[in-house]
Amino acid sequence: MAEPAPDSVRILVVCTGNSCRSILAEALFRELGGDRVAVDSAGSEPEGAVNPRTLDVLDEAGVGHDWARSKSLSEFLDREFDHVITVCDNAAEACPNFPGPAVRTHWSIPDPALARGTVEEQLIVYRATYWDLEKRIAGFLATLDA
């Protein structure tokens, strides 16, 4: 991934555990947004580790994730963001206000970590979440170019 440009759009993606949806979104913003965005993700109640299925889906898609770790919102409370995007309903309620011009956006995305069944059945749910986020993020990035 290219280093963000000094005038890049600062984005924080928030969910509850910061192990699935927000990590997938951060990876996709990094991949699709390149140096136009400076993106981080965090959780209101971080799991402490990235879900292995999340990493499997990123590997399948060829999207790097060596930077990925589960982080707390508290790491970012003193930073300014242009956009704060919540990707789960619980995080939308728990998300604090951030300093600066942050525009809040909410995407209600079901938690793939709740998927049951075989590993392959679970991966089907994670892939669907990845594709959902990919469409949303591509659309979001297109608005930045407008």
**CATH number, domain at 68?**
3.40.50.2300
Could you tell me if residue 129 is inside a domain? yes
Could you tell me if residue 61 is inside a domain? yes
The whole domain housing 53 covers 9-137
CA 111 from chain centre, in angstroms, equals: 12
Whether the per-residue pLDDT at 92 is higher than 60: the answer is no
Could you tell me if residue 52 is inside a domain? yes
CA 33 from chain centre, in angstroms, equals: 13
Q: What is the pLDDT of residue 88?
A: 82
pLDDT in tens, 57-91: 999 999 999 999 999 988 998 888 999 998 987 65
* Residues recognised as catalytic: 15, 88, 95
Could you tell me if residue 145 is inside a domain? no
Q: Which backbone phi and psi does 123 adopt, to 5 degrees?
A: -65, -30
The structure tokens listed for 140 are: 């979001």
Could you tell me if residue 142 is inside a domain? no
Could you tell me if residue 2 is inside a domain? no
The structure tokens listed for 64 are: 């790097």
Q: How many domains does the chain have?
A: 1
Residues 29 and 134: their CA atoms lie apart, in Å, by 9
0.85 exceeded by pTM: yes
pLDDT band at 95 (very low <50, low <70, confident <90, very high): low
C-alpha distance from residue 47 to each of 3, 15, 65, 80 (Å): 27, 11, 17, 24
